[in-house]
Chains A and B, each alone.
Chain A
Amino acid sequence: MTPALGPKIQIQRVAKTFSSGRAPALAEVDLDVAERELVCILGPSGCGKSTLLNIVAGFLAPTTGAVRVDGRVVTGPAPERGVVFQEYALFPWLTVTGNVEFGPRLQSRPAAERRRTVDRYLDLVGLRAHADKFPAQLSGGMKQRVAIARALANNPAVILMDEPFGALDAQTRETLQDELSKIQRVEHKTILFVTHSIREAVYLADRVVVMTSVPGRVKQVFPIKLPEVRDRFAPEFTQYEADITRVVKEEVAKVRE
């Protein structure tokens, strides 16, 4: 294989206006994400960060500009771009196993291979014992673990996460952040992660992108130069938190005015 030339994800002058005549939701976003990089997008609510993610996923078409993954323009959803949703989006009629092997099944993978894939990713998220349960029988944290396993089992080049831990309680949230960070040390995926938690962003990201309030554009980018395994109470960590909070607050204040 030839080494990847240029960034894995290129977001070039992407703007989105939902209906003509209305104010744009996104105004000319430019952002590159390198292979194996985890980038968190932070911004005040309604700044269009989820819109941006939906455009990268191919669920929405940009009004202007384009998204490229591995140099190819995104025109719709595709298995190379796995998505993890805040509302889990598990198929309630399938068991945990059925959900995780949904992608491999679509690709008509043989049963033995599917079983290995399911076992591997359920082990990774610690849900092997719950393989035969239905989503309705799981807690929120477990559901999101299944959703992450489902995305990984499809072996996407890129994973897009839209406030994946936003609906979870604080405790579960931190546990899942720990697990995602652990998973990333094994899987090394290219991840674009939308959140409104500054702490979460500093904990997970290689770079944190702060967006402006509506219409959203990139306000500032913070490379996080912390070790892979992070300590939420280290002084460097809290320093990043403070710096980013200051920038985010400026934008929140603008919304209030």
Chain B
Amino acid sequence: MRSSAVRAVAILGGLVLWAVFTAANARVELVNPVLLPTPVEVGRVALDLTASGELARHVLTSLWRVVQGFGLAAVAALGLGVLVGLCVPLRLMAEPVIELLRPIPPLAFLPMFLVWFGLGEASKVAFIGYTTFFPMFVAIAASVLRIDVVLLRAAASLGATRADLVRRVMLPAALPGIVVALRVGVGLALFVIVGAEFMGADAGLGHLIMEGRTFFNPAQIVMGALLLGLLGSLVNTLLLAAERRLLGGRAAA
């Protein structure tokens, strides 16, 4: 069987299991059926919200925050990562600071961001930026450090200047690592957007989920969560395709 067929079967199977389980539960009432929304109920919420245009607004709001926060972090991580990768004294200074900050769960700082940036867009964008910056920065610096010195020597002996080395050797050599770092960053941004939107948001998928809790609508919570999963895997597929295009034949063995 083709792998795409296997995937379709697996997803359908999961849906069927979910439907059967919730239907059975509705009969025997193992748990209160209100707490276990069925696929049909979740689908209905999705349809209603789509029809009213609400769903698109929430999705676009969340995505726009991700794009801004991730974008800022990516630019910073790329610039600083390459710089730190190139410059030994900078690296020695950066390492201990990063090692202290990195283990702190980003969510622990979320209230701080609300204090600094208020309840509006800025705190959410800044929080996503902060969360995604460190893993991307560390991975990009590492991929610059991993560049084989013999490639730099080869280029230098062909007449490369310092600028040529950065542009024509270091960046392309580190590119696979950079692309992976960016992919991890996007995934993480989609991951933490919910947390950022739990507090003080009037739109976005996190807000939609919280609203489901406030108005006791479990189907809406489940729908929001599933939609996030769908978005995440969609973005990942797109990024993988972009990665394959970008890195071209170099990986072909």
Interface residues in chain A, defined as those with a beta carbon under 8 Å from any beta carbon in chain B: 57-59, 76-79, 81-83, 85, 87, 89-95, 102-103, 106-107, 133-137, 150, 154, 160
Q: Which of B153, B158, B160, B253 contacts A136 (CB 8 A)?
A: B253
Beyond the given A57-B153, A82-B158, A137-B253, please list 8 additional residue pairs across the A-B interface where CB-CB is below 8 A: A78-B157, A79-B157, A81-B157, A85-B153, A89-B148, A91-B154, A102-B155, A160-B157
Q: Is A78 within 8 A of B249, CB to CB?
A: no
CB of B159 within 8 A of CB of A136, answer no
Q: Write out the residue numbers on chain B whose beta carbons fall within 8 Å of the beta carbon of A135.
A: 250
A-contacting 9-mer, from B35-43, B96-104, B168-176, B199-207: B168-176
Instruction: Determine the chain A residues whose CB is within 8 A of the CB of B157 once the complex forms.
Output: 57-59, 77-79, 81-83, 160
Q: Which 6 A/B pairs are nearest by Cβ-Cβ distance?
A: A79-B159, A77-B156, A89-B154, A103-B158, A134-B249, A83-B157
7 contacts between A and B (CB under 8 A): A59-B153, A82-B158, A85-B150, A85-B153, A89-B148, A134-B250, A154-B158
Q: Is the CB of A136 within 8 A of B154?
A: no
**Interchain nearest-CB distance for B250 vs A (Å):** 5
Q: Are B159 and A106 in contact (CB under 8 A)?
A: yes
Known: A79-B158, A106-B159, A137-B249. A93 touches B153 (CB 8 A): no
B252 near A: Cβ within 8 Å? Answer: yes
- Given known A85-B153, A87-B150, A95-B249, contact A78–B175 (CB-CB < 8 A): no
Complex partner residue of A93 from B160, B164, B173, CB under 8 angstroms:
B173
Q: Judge whether B151 is part of the interface by a CB distance below 8 angstroms.
A: yes
Chain B positions near chain A (C-beta within 8 angstroms): 148, 150-151, 153-160, 164, 168-169, 172-173, 175, 247-253
Does B252 lie within 8 Å of A93, measured CB to CB?
Answer: no
Contact B250 A92 (CB under 8 A): yes
Residues of A close to B156: CB separation below 8 A: 58-59, 76-77
Complex alpha-carbon distance, A82 and B160, angstroms: 12
Chain B contact residues, majority secondary structure? helix
Chain A residue at smallest Cβ distance from B172:
A93
| Residues in B whose Cβ lies below 8 Å from that of A77 | 153, 156-157
Q: Which residue of A lies closest to B171 (CB)?
A: A93
Q: How far is the CB of A60 from chain B (nearest CB, A)?
A: 10
Contact A91 B172 (CB under 8 A): yes
> Contact between A103 and B250 (Cβ–Cβ < 8 Å)?
no
**Chain B min CB distance to A150 (Å):** 7
- Residues on A with beta carbons closer than 8 Å to the beta carbon of B173: 91-93
Q: In the complex, which of the residues A59, A91, A103, A133 has the most CB atoms of chain B within 10 Å of its own CB atom?
A: A91
| In the complex, chain B residues whose CB is within 8 Å of the CB of A59 | 153, 156-157
- Asked, given contacts A92-B250, A134-B250, A136-B249, whether A103 binds B153 with beta carbons under 8 Å apart, the answer is no
Instruction: State the CA gap A154–B156 with chains docked (Å).
Output: 12
Give CA–CA (A83, B148) in the complex, Å. Answer: 16
Rounded to whole Å, the gap between the CB of B161 and the closest CB of chain A is 8
Question: Which A residue's beta carbon lies closest to that of B246?
Answer: A93
A77 to B154, CA, bound (A): 9
Contact assessment for A106 and B158 in the assembled complex, using a CB-CB cutoff below 8 Å: yes
Docked complex Cα distance between A134 and B251 (Å)? 9
Closest residue of chain B to A87, judged by CB?
B150
Instruction: Say yes or no: B251 contacts A136, CB within 8 Å.
Output: yes
Residues of B near A102 (CB, < 8 A) are 155, 158, 168
A82-B158, A106-B164 known; A136-B151 Cβ under 8 A? no
Q: Are A107 and B159 in contact (CB under 8 A)?
A: yes
Contacts of B151 in A (CB 8 A): 89, 91
A131 vs chain B, min Cβ distance (A): 13
Contact B250 A93 (CB under 8 A): yes
Query: Which residues of the other chain, A, contact B169 by a CB distance below 8 angstroms?
Result: 91
